[in-house]
Amino acid sequence: MKARPQAVQLRGGRVIAHLRDPAQAIYLALFAVLIIGWVLVTIDGGQFVTTENIVGIQQRSAALGIVAVGQTLAILAGSLDLSVAYLISLTSLVAAEAMTGGGMVPAIAVVLAVSALVGMVNGLVITKLKVHAFIATLGVALIIKGVVEHRYDGPAGDVTDSFQRLGYDRIGPVPVSALLWAGVAVAVWFLLRRTRLGYRIYAVGGDEEVARLSGVRTDRVVISAHVLCSICAGIAGLLLAARLGAGSPTVGTDGGYDLESIAAVVLGGTALAGGRGGVAGTVGGVLLLAVLDSIFNQLEVNSFFKDVVRGVVIVVAVAVYARRARERRTTA
């Protein structure tokens, strides 16, 4: 019932079609939501397909999208990361503080180093100390929370003007932040589908014991997945710092990036238990959440109602995937 290692499955075309199934489903759902939203907004007397709106959807989804792509790696490896929200706050502050003192490039380097370090700690605690990923990353989240809230009461630091352009500039209807997200997504897609580490992430997530017995150094794979996941969170922190013009101790938790990114990944058809799914689905999941948000904003729906719908959508989507998976098993 667990997926076999990806490397084996990639050779059968039919199997690939099956694997891509949830990703296709999420894009169909996205398309349907776009049509329904367009109809509803038009009936409401508004205009759905405006440049402003299209840019808004991309802007809204970029930060969550980058985090969710990273979270995909952790979840595919059979783990998960609850520390991303606080890490985003931390890296936004580190970016802004470092930029106040030095230049843009060293600041980015420091942020990436800090996030890689946090990811390394997550991975080491999970693999070497044998602490369940849930508790390990929750513990690391608390550690970061304490440090951040102890040192900062409010926004701090200052980013350079040229760096701020990352947050709001756009090329035609495409914001730079969306390009950054696309870049991260393509890089991770390439990693998962074309590199040895990618195959091993699927193998470890599918069945850790089988992977180990096949000669995969599972610890290294899990640690790498966590380092990459944290680096993605760090990139999101950079993006948010650029947008705010400063670092903020609450920017990560206000966005609810920890649970929201996990929800987006699962919405995109990646199995929470690991080993099945991919980046394409995650991107679709994030876009679906952003489009829903945009429709609700245009219809001026109460924000609490949005939460209710969001919760229902996530549960229903996963129920549908579970049903399809079961049908596939019985017909296979």
130 contributes a contact to another protein by CB under 8 A? yes
Residues 6+ apart with CB under 8 A from 184: 65, 66, 69, 70, 232, 235
| Total residues at interface with another protein (CB under 8 A) | 55
**In angstroms, what is the minimal distance from the CB of 32 to another protein?**
20
Minimum CB distance to another protein smaller for 175 or for 249:
249
Q: Applying CB under 8 A, which of residues 50, 106, 319, 328 lies at the interface with another protein?
A: 319
| Residue 78: DSSP 8-state | T
Q: Evaluate the CA torsion angle 293, 295, 298, 300 in order and state its sign.
A: negative
117 contributes a contact to another protein by CB under 8 A? no
**In angstroms, what is the minimal distance from the CB of 84 to another protein?**
15
Q: Evaluate the CA torsion angle 209, 215, 198, 327 in order and state its sign.
A: negative
Q: Evaluate the CA torsion angle 2, 274, 185, 264 in order and state its sign.
A: positive
Q: Is-contact 47 229, C-beta < 8 A? A: no
**In angstroms, what is the minimal distance from the CB of 304 to another protein?**
4
302 contributes a contact to another protein by CB under 8 A? yes
Minimum CB distance to another protein smaller for 193 or for 212:
212
Q: Applying CB under 8 A, which of residues 35, 117, 142, 186 lies at the interface with another protein?
A: 142
Q: How many CB atoms lie within 10 A of CB 85?
A: 27
Tell me the C-alpha distance between 2 and 275, whole Å: 8
Q: Applying CB under 8 A, which of residues 186, 273, 327, 328 lies at the interface with another protein?
A: 273
209 contributes a contact to another protein by CB under 8 A? yes
Minimum CB distance to another protein smaller for 60 or for 145:
145
The DSSP code sequence of 124-149 is HHHHTS---HHHHHHHHHHHHHHHHH
Tell me the C-alpha distance between 270 and 234, whole Å: 22
**In angstroms, what is the minimal distance from the CB of 322 to another protein?**
4
Q: Among 19-27, 162-170, 193-201, 314-322, which window interacts with another protein (CB under 8 A)?
A: 314-322
**In angstroms, what is the minimal distance from the CB of 53 to another protein?**
23
Computed over its alpha carbons, how large is the radius of gyration of the chain? Answer: 20
| Residue 247: DSSP 8-state | B
Q: Evaluate the CA torsion angle 241, 247, 252, 254 in order and state its sign.
A: negative
Q: Is-contact 84 274, C-beta < 8 A? A: no
Q: Among 7-15, 132-140, 193-201, 287-295, which window interacts with another protein (CB under 8 A)?
A: 132-140
Q: Which residues pair with 156 in a beta bridge?
A: 247
**In angstroms, what is the minimal distance from the CB of 190 to another protein?**
25
Site for another protein in 233-272 (CB under 8 A): 259, 262-263, 266, 272
Q: Applying CB under 8 A, which of residues 57, 104, 222, 232 lies at the interface with another protein?
A: 222
76 contributes a contact to another protein by CB under 8 A? no
Torsions phi, psi of 129, nearest 5? -90, -5
Which residues of this protein are in contact with another protein, per CB under 8 A? 1, 78-80, 125-127, 129-136, 138-150, 208-209, 222, 259, 262-263, 266, 272-274, 302, 304-312, 314-315, 318-319, 322-323, 326
